[in-house]
Structure 1
Amino acid sequence: METYQNIVLEKLPAHLRKYVVPQFYERYTPIDQALWRYVMRQNYIYLKDVAYYPYIPGLRKAGLTIERIPDLQQMNDSLKQIGWGAVTVDGFIPPAAFMEFQAHRVLVIAADIRQLEHIEYTPAPDIIHESSGHAPIIGEPEYAEYLQYFGEVGSKAMFSAKDFELYEAIRNLSILKEDPNATQEQIATGERLLEKIQQNMGEPSEMALLSRLHWWTVEYGLIGTVDDPKIYGAGLLSSIGESVTCMQPEVPKLPYTLDAVNYSYDITKPQPQLFVTPDFEHLRGVLDEFAADMSFRVGGKKSVDKAIACKNVCTAVYSSGLQVSGIFTAVGDENKLTYIKTSGPTALALRGKQLHRHSKNYHKDGFSAPVGLVTGFDRSLEDMTDADLYAAGIVVGQETVLSFDSGITVTGVLESLTRSEDKLVLLSFTKCTVRDTRTDAILFMPEWGMYDMAVGAQIVSVFSGAADKDAYEQQSDVSEISAVRHAYDESTKQLHERYARIRRMREKGNATEKLLMELFTDLQANFPGDWLSLVELLEIAANMSLTEAVRQIEDALDQIQKNQPHLVKLIQDGKRLAKDTNVSLIL
Structure 2
Amino acid sequence: NNLATCEYSSGLQVSGVFCDVLTDENKEPIYFKSKGPTALAFRNKELPGHGKDRHAEGFGAPIGRWRNVHAAPENLSKDQLHSIGIVDGRKATIGFESGVIVSGRVEKIVREGDKLLLITFSNCTVKRGDQVLFDPSWGEFDMAVGEKISSVFNGAADKDAFLEVALVPKERTIKAPSDARRKKLESLYQQVRDIRERKVGYERLGEIWETQQAQHPDDWLLSMEIFEILDEVAQQPELKGRVAKFLKQVALSNKDKQTLVDWGFRLVEYHKMPEYRAIHERASAH
TM-score (norm 2): 0.57
Counterpart for residue 387 of structure 1: 79
Shift of 1:380: 1.6
Cα RMSD, aligned residues only = 1.7
Q: 2:56 aligns with which of 364, 373, 388?
A: 364
Q: Does structure 1 residue 419 correspond to structure 2 residue 111?
A: yes
Taking the aligned partners of 1:479 and 1:349, their CA distance within structure 2 comes to 28
Taking the aligned partners of 1:355 and 1:386, their CA distance within structure 2 comes to 20
Q: 2:132 aligns with which of 442, 445, 448?
A: 442
Stretches of structure 2 that go unaligned for 5 or more consecutive residues are 165-175, 184-286
Taking the aligned partners of 1:361 and 1:448, their CA distance within structure 2 comes to 15
Counterpart for residue 186 of structure 1: none
Counterpart for residue 158 of structure 2: 468
Taking the aligned partners of 1:330 and 1:383, their CA distance within structure 2 comes to 27
Task: Report how many aligned residue pairs link the two structures.
Answer: 170
Q: Does structure 1 residue 477 correspond to structure 2 residue 169?
A: no
Taking the aligned partners of 1:383 and 1:481, their CA distance within structure 2 comes to 39
SS in 1 for 2:80: helix
Taking the aligned partners of 2:66 and 2:115, their CA distance within structure 1 comes to 16
Matched ranges for 1:269-284 at <5 A:
none
Taking the aligned partners of 2:12 and 2:80, their CA distance within structure 1 comes to 20
- Per-residue CA deviation, residues 311-354 of structure 1 (Å, 9 max, x unaligned), is 21100000100000000011112722001110000000010000
Counterpart for residue 134 of structure 1: none
Shift of 1:478: 3.0
Structure 2 counterpart of 1:421, one-letter code: G
4+ residue runs of structure 1 moved beyond 4 angstroms? none
- Per-residue CA deviation, residues 401-433 of structure 1 (Å, 9 max, x unaligned), is 000011100000000100011100000000000
Q: 1:348 aligns with which of 19, 40, 45?
A: 40
Counterpart for residue 499 of structure 1: none
Higher relative contact order (CA 8 A, sep 6+): 2
Taking the aligned partners of 2:182 and 2:154, their CA distance within structure 1 comes to 23
Alpha-carbon spacing, 1:378–1:481, altered in 2? closer, same or farther (3 Å): closer
- Per-residue CA deviation, residues 506-545 of structure 1 (Å, 9 max, x unaligned), is xxxxxxxxxxxxxxxxxxxxxxxxxxxxxxxxxxxxxxxx
- Per-residue CA deviation, residues 283-332 of structure 1 (Å, 9 max, x unaligned), is xxxxxxxxxxxxxxxxxxxxxxxxxxxx2110000010000000001111
Alpha-carbon spacing, 1:413–1:469, altered in 2? closer, same or farther (3 Å): same
Counterpart for residue 6 of structure 2: 316
Q: Does structure 1 residue 451 correspond to structure 2 residue 141?
A: yes
Q: Does structure 1 residue 399 correspond to structure 2 residue 91?
A: yes
Shift of 1:481: 10
Shift of 1:471: 0.3
Taking the aligned partners of 2:104 and 2:48, their CA distance within structure 1 comes to 22
Taking the aligned partners of 2:85 and 2:181, their CA distance within structure 1 comes to 55
Alpha-carbon spacing, 1:315–1:481, altered in 2? closer, same or farther (3 Å): closer
SS in 1 for 2:22: coil
Taking the aligned partners of 1:436 and 1:404, their CA distance within structure 2 comes to 9
Structure 2 counterpart of 1:477, one-letter code: S
Taking the aligned partners of 1:333 and 1:448, their CA distance within structure 2 comes to 23
Alpha-carbon spacing, 1:403–1:481, altered in 2? closer, same or farther (3 Å): closer
Alpha-carbon spacing, 1:480–1:351, altered in 2? closer, same or farther (3 Å): closer
SS in 1 for 2:61: strand
- Per-residue CA deviation, residues 99-134 of structure 1 (Å, 9 max, x unaligned), is xxxxxxxxxxxxxxxxxxxxxxxxxxxxxxxxxxxx
For the pair shown, which has the larger CA radius of gyration, 1 or 2? Answer: 1
Structure 2 counterpart of 1:342, one-letter code: S
- Per-residue CA deviation, residues 560-583 of structure 1 (Å, 9 max, x unaligned), is xxxxxxxxxxxxxxxxxxxxxxxx
Matched ranges for 1:151-550 at <5 A:
311-333=1-23, 335-437=27-129, 440-473=130-163, 476-479=177-180
- Percent identity reads 44
Alpha-carbon spacing, 1:401–1:477, altered in 2? closer, same or farther (3 Å): same
Taking the aligned partners of 2:21 and 2:85, their CA distance within structure 1 comes to 28
SS in 1 for 2:116: strand
Shift of 1:362: 1.2
Counterpart for residue 268 of structure 2: none
Structure 1 counterpart of 2:113, one-letter code: E
Taking the aligned partners of 2:180 and 2:4, their CA distance within structure 1 comes to 20
Taking the aligned partners of 1:392 and 1:401, their CA distance within structure 2 comes to 9
Alpha-carbon spacing, 1:480–1:321, altered in 2? closer, same or farther (3 Å): closer
Matched ranges for 1:47-86 at <5 A:
none
Structure 2 counterpart of 1:313, one-letter code: L
Pick the structure with more helix per residue.
1
Pick the structure with more strand per residue.
2
Counterpart for residue 234 of structure 2: none
Alpha-carbon spacing, 1:371–1:480, altered in 2? closer, same or farther (3 Å): closer
